[in-house]
């Protein structure tokens, strides 16, 4: 799945971006600061979900799965194995740090 991000300004002056929320699929997504790792963080205006779109091209659904496993206490090396081919080892470790920052 490819995500194209194009900034645009709405009437209210809120920056909207063209991407889908990994939880509800909504497209009303706004920029919401950055993680400690320096990645752009986004928030869905429909369900309030925060998420990070990785520049490495990891699909939102993969990030969603990774987050669920992290929150379930799955060891990071196991997550790396499960997501093999979909997300790199360094991505999983970086993402884990992001999750801990945003909660
Ligand atoms: Zn949403």
Tell me the domain boundaries of the chain. Answer: 7-102
CA of 78 to the centre of ligand 1 (A): 27
CA of 89 to the centre of ligand 1 (A): 27
pLDDT given for residue 1 in this prediction: 44
CA of 61 to the centre of ligand 1 (A): 13
Write out the CATH class of domain 7-102.
Answer: mainly beta
Could you tell me how many residues make up the chain? Answer: 103
Per-chain mean pLDDT for the chain:
79
* Residue predicted with more confidence, 28 or 15: 28
CA of 16 to the centre of ligand 1 (A): 14
CA of 25 to the centre of ligand 1 (A): 6
Distance, CA of 92 to CA of 81 (rounded, Å): 10
Nearest to 54 by CA among 14, 13, 97: 97
């Amino acid at each position: 799945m490819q995500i194209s991000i194009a900034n645009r300004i709405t009437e209210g002056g809120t920056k909207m971006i063209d991407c889908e929320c990994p939880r509800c699929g909504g497209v009303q997504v706004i920029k919401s600061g950055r993680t400690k790792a320096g990645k752009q963080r986004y928030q869905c205006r429909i369900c309030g979900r925060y998420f990070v779109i990785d520049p490495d091209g990891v699909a939102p659904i993969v990030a969603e799965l990774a987050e669920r496993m992290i929150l379930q206490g799955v060891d990071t090396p196991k997550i790396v194995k499960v997501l093999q081919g979909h997300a790199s080892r360094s991505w999983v470790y970086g993402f884990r740090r992001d999750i801990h920052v945003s909660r």
